[in-house]
Amino acid sequence: MDFSAVAAISSSGMEVERARLDASALNLANVHTSRTAEGGPFKPLRVVSGPAGAFQHAFAHAGGLLPGAQIVGIERASLPPRLVHEPGHPDADARGFVAYPAIDGVTEMVNIMTAVRAYEANLAALNAAKAMANKALDIGGAA
């Protein structure tokens, strides 16, 4: 088997899940960010993944039919902000409401767990490829 091509598929999957994890971690860190450089509350990040382009990984034996994954885009969710009544807050508007990001801790935790599980699955695929390639090296050696 072409180990480096198959390893490239699995490692691309791991990179994508790593990015997904980073995005959720960033969202959780900014749960109370009511003011950003662009003005307004922090907008939550969402990673959108898709199949990798044929030029990114060379799959000579499959002709590009078995792609790895890549990050297609990192979108900012445009959900309406959470309004909390805090009249003394520096970012409060005229009616005393502060706009906090619409980041739900439960949703982000679920995203983190999903990303970690997917990362582990890609790692399992990589280890399986390694085991198969190593076993192939033993042909004729133990006879």
Partner 1 sequence: MGLGLIGATPGFIEYALDGLSLRHAAIASNIANALSPNHRAASVSFEDQLAAAMDAGTQPSHLPAPAVSHALAPGAASPATTETQIVSLNQNVLQYQALLKGLEKYMAPIHLALSDGRK
Chain contacts with partner 1 (rule: CB under 8 A): 1-2, 5-6, 9-10, 12-13, 16-17, 20, 48-51, 59, 61-62, 65-69, 72, 114-115, 117-118, 121-122, 124-126, 128-129, 131-132, 135-136, 138-140, 142-143
- Give the pair of three-digit tokens for residue 102: 């619409």
- How far is the C-alpha of 44 from the C-alpha of 8, rounded, in Å? 30
Cβ 108 to partner 1, closest distance in Å? 15
**Residue with smaller CB distance to partner 1, 3 or 97:** 3
Cβ 134 to partner 1, closest distance in Å? 10
- How far is the C-alpha of 90 from the C-alpha of 43, rounded, in Å? 19
Q: Helix, strand or coil for residue 57?
A: coil
Q: Which DSSP helix (H) or strand (E) runs through 18?
A: helix 3-29
